[in-house]
A and B are shown apart, each in its own frame.
Chain A
Amino acid sequence: MKKAEQTLIYRLLFIALLLICHQVLNMEEALASTSIGQVNSLQAIIDQLDAGDAIELPPGTYAGPATIDKMVSIRGNSEVTLLNPSGAPAISILSDGVHLANIQIKNNASGDQSPAILVKSHQVTLEDLTIQTSGYGIILRDADQAILQNNTITWFKPEANKPKQKGNGIDLYNSNGTLIKNNHITGVRDAIYLEKSRNARIQGNKLSRTRYGIHCMYIDGSSVIDNEGQYNITGAMVMGVKNVVVSGNVFRRQSQNVHSQGILLYDVQSSSINKNVVEGNRVGIYMEQSSENELSNNAVLRNFIGIQLINSNSNQFHGNEFIANVIEAEAADSQKNEMMRNYWDSFQGLDLNHDGTSEIPYAINPFYQLLVTQTPAYQLFFQSPGMTFLSDMFTNGQEDWSTDSSPLMNADISHTVSTESAKGSADVLAIGLLLLCTAIYTIIYLGVMRE
C-alpha cells in the first residue's frame, strides 16, 4: 500500500516537472516570437514625426538604419534597443538641433567601418546613449556646437580584433565648439579623435584600453579637462595645436606598448598643461617640437621616464613634482626652457638660505637620450648600474643642459599620496617569516651545531 502511494507521488511529481518544462519552453518560444515580431523600424517612426516633435520611444527593440532629417527629439529608456546589422550608420543625423537620448545601440555589422551615429548637422545633442559598435561610435562631420554627454561606447567584440580593424569612439572632423563630457569609452581605436575642430571642450571622460585616449590634431583653442585614462597606448596625444588647455587629467598605467605615454605633446604652442597626474606610465609627459607652453603643478609619479623633452624650447616648467620615476627626466636639444621650483625626488639639493628651494641647480643629463636616439639598440642598458655610472662621467657642455635653477626641497604632500595601493603586506610578512626561520635553522643545524 505504502509502496503504491510512493510510486504515485513520484509519478505525479514527474508529470508536474514535465509540465513545468513544457511551460518554460513555451514561454521562451513565445518571448522569442514576440521580440522578433516587435522589432520596429525606427525609420518608420521618424517618418511620421514633424519638425519640432519630441517623442519617447516605448520599450522594445528597434531596427536601423535610420536617417533623421528634421529637427526632432527622440528619447528612449533603458529598455529601448536599436539593432543595426546593416552596413550603413545606425542613425544618420542630417538636420540641425536634433536631440537623441537614452537609447542602446548595437551596431554590429561585421567587418564594417560604419559608425553607430553619423552627425552632419549643427547643434545636435547626444546623451545617455549606450553604444556597442564593431565600427566607429559617433562620427561628426562639419557639425558645429554638438553636445555629447554621458554616453558609453564599447567595442562589440572585446579583444577579438586588433586595433587596426577598429574605429574611433568619438570622431570629429571640421566640427567646432563641441562639448564632449562624462563619456565612458573602452576598447576602441582612439577613444576621442578630433581633427580640425576648434574650441572643443573634452571634460570628465573615462577612457580605457584604447590606442590613444584623446587624440587631438589641429584643434586650436580647445580644452582637455579632468579626463581619466588607463591602459591605453597613450593617454592624451596632443598634436599640432595652439592655445589649448590640458588640465586636471589623470593618466595611469600606460606602460604596455613600447611607445606608451601618459601625455604626448607634439608641435604644441602657447598652451597650458597643468595639474595633471601621470602615474605608472612608460613615459609620463613626452614633449617634442613644442614651445611657449606652460607646464605647471603636474604630478609625475612612478613612470619609467618622468618627462622627456625633445627639441622643445621656450617653455616654462614650474611647480611640477617628479616622484619615484625610474629616470625623472630626459632632454635633448631643449636647453632654452625656464625651469623653476620643481620637485625632483632623487635630487639632493642644498638650501642654505631656507627659502624652500635648493641653491644647487638640477641639471638633466642628456647622455642616455643622445645615445639611444643614435642607436636604439642601446635601450637595453636602460638604467643599469653601468649606464648610470657612464652618464655621471659625461659632463660635456653641462652649461647647455636643461636645468632647474631652483629645485624645490620638499614635495607637496597632497600630490605624493597616491591613490594606488599595493596589496600583499600580509603575504610579504608570511614569506619573510618563513625565509627568516629557514635561514636561522640552516645556520644553526648545518653550520653551528656539531654532529
Chain B
Amino acid sequence: MKKLITVCALFLGLIMLAGCGDKYEALPINEDTDVCAICNMQVKDDAFATQLTTKDGKNVKFDDIGCMHKWKEQQGTENIGMDYVRDYNNKEWIEYDNATYVYDASFRTPMAYGIITFKDKKSAETFVSEQGVGKIMNAKELASHDWKQNTDKMQMMDEDGHMHKEDQKGMDMKSEMTSSHK
C-alpha cells in the first residue's frame, strides 16, 4: 500500500511539473478526432476552425465561429481562459479580441454563418475590395452581430434571386480554390 502511495505521489509530482507550462495555447487541429463541440461536424484544419480553452484547461474546438458563439451563449463567457480564431490567409491562430471580422451572407463557411476572420484590418480590407462585398467588424462590433445562418435562400433574395446567386457562385468557387492551394 505504501508503494502504491509513493507511486501516486511521484506521478502527481510529474504532472504538476508538466502542467506548469504556458497557461493558454492554441492546440493544433487533428482532423481524425476533433469535432465541433456544437454541431458535431469534423473540424477541418482550415481557416474557419476556432477554439477556446476554459480556465480549468478544457480545450473545445469549433468548425465555424458561429458555433463558438453558440457555445458562449449556452455556457457563458466567464469561464473562458482564451479563445482563438484563424487568419483567413495563412491559418495563423489569433486571439479573438485582436482579430478583424468580415461578414456577408454570401460567404460560404462550414455552418453558413458567413463570417471570415483576419489578423489585421488591412488584409480584411484587401479581401473586401477583392470580393466587392463584406462588412468589416472588430471583436466589439461583432458582439452586436445578429449571427444569422445563411441557410435559406428565400430569406435573402426574394423573387429575383438570380443576381445574388451568381455572386455566390463566384465566391464559393473562389474559396474552394484558395483553400485547395494551401
Instruction: With A142-B169, A266-B40 as known contacts, state yes or no: A240 contacts B180, CB within 8 Å.
Output: no
Which residues on the A side are within 8 Å of B32 (C-beta)? 257-258
Which residues on the A side are within 8 Å of B45 (C-beta)? 164
Of all chain B residues, the one with the shortest Cβ separation from A311 is B74
Tell me the complex Cα distance, A289–B41, Å. Answer: 14
5 A–B pairs (Cβ distance < 8 Å), ordered by A: A233-B42, A239-B39, A257-B33, A259-B33, A259-B42
Instruction: With A142-B165, A164-B45, A217-B112 as known contacts, state yes or no: A288 contacts B40, CB within 8 Å.
Output: yes
Residue from the list A163, A240, A258 in contact with B149, Cβ < 8 A? A240
- Mask of B21-59 contacts with A, CB within 8 angstroms, 1/0: 000000000011101000111101100000000000000
B168 touches A174 (CB 8 A): yes
Whether, in the assembled complex, A415 has its beta carbon less than 8 Å from a beta carbon of chain B, the answer is: no
Question: Contact size class for B?
Answer: 20 to 34
Whether, in the assembled complex, A347 has its beta carbon less than 8 Å from a beta carbon of chain B, the answer is: no
Which residues on the B side are within 8 Å of A257 (C-beta)? 32-33
Instruction: With A141-B169, A218-B112 as known contacts, state yes or no: A266 contacts B42, CB within 8 Å.
Output: no
* Chain A min CB distance to B73 (Å): 13
Residue from the list B42, B152, B172 in contact with A218, Cβ < 8 A? B152
* Chain B min CB distance to A334 (Å): 15
Tell me the complex Cα distance, A24–B173, Å. Answer: 49
Which residues on the A side are within 8 Å of B112 (C-beta)? 195-196, 217-218
B35 touches A259 (CB 8 A): yes
Which residues on the A side are within 8 Å of B177 (C-beta)? 113
The residues in B between 145 and 165 inclusive whose CB is less than 8 angstroms from any CB of A are 149, 151-153, 165
* Chain B min CB distance to A272 (Å): 20
Whether, in the assembled complex, A367 has its beta carbon less than 8 Å from a beta carbon of chain B, the answer is: no
Residue from the list B40, B151, B169 in contact with A259, Cβ < 8 A? B40
- Mask of A109-142 contacts with B, CB within 8 angstroms, 1/0: 0001100000010000000000000000000011
Tell me the complex Cα distance, A259–B44, Å. Answer: 14
B41 touches A163 (CB 8 A): no
Whether, in the assembled complex, A331 has its beta carbon less than 8 Å from a beta carbon of chain B, the answer is: no
A196 touches B42 (CB 8 A): no
Question: Contact size class for A?
Answer: 20 to 34
Tell me the complex Cα distance, A321–B86, Å. Answer: 45
Interface residues of A (CB under 8 A from B): 112-113, 120, 141-142, 162-164, 173-174, 195-196, 211, 217-218, 233, 237, 239-240, 257-259, 264, 266-267, 286, 288
> A174-B168, A233-B42, A266-B39 provided; 17 other pairs, C-beta below 8 A?
A112-B180, A113-B176, A141-B169, A142-B165, A142-B169, A162-B31, A164-B44, A164-B45, A195-B112, A196-B112, A196-B151, A217-B151, A239-B39, A239-B41, A259-B35, A259-B42, A267-B39
Instruction: With A164-B45, A218-B112 as known contacts, state yes or no: A113 contacts B39, CB within 8 Å.
Output: no
Residue from the list A142, A164, A264 in contact with B31, Cβ < 8 A? A164
Tell me the complex Cα distance, A343–B153, Å. Answer: 42
Tell me the complex Cα distance, A142–B42, Å. Answer: 26
Tell me the complex Cα distance, A141–B45, Å. Answer: 24
Tell me the complex Cα distance, A325–B180, Å. Answer: 41
Residue from the list B33, B44, B173, B176 in contact with A258, Cβ < 8 A? B33
Of all chain B residues, the one with the shortest Cβ separation from A233 is B42
Tell me the complex Cα distance, A196–B112, Å. Answer: 10
Tell me the complex Cα distance, A329–B67, Å. Answer: 26
Of all chain A residues, the one with the shortest Cβ separation from B150 is A196
B42 touches A264 (CB 8 A): no
Which residues on the A side are within 8 Å of B173 (C-beta)? 141
B165 touches A173 (CB 8 A): no
Residue from the list B40, B153, B168 in contact with A286, Cβ < 8 A? B40
Which residues on the B side are within 8 Å of A288 (C-beta)? 40
Tell me the complex Cα distance, A364–B162, Å. Answer: 50
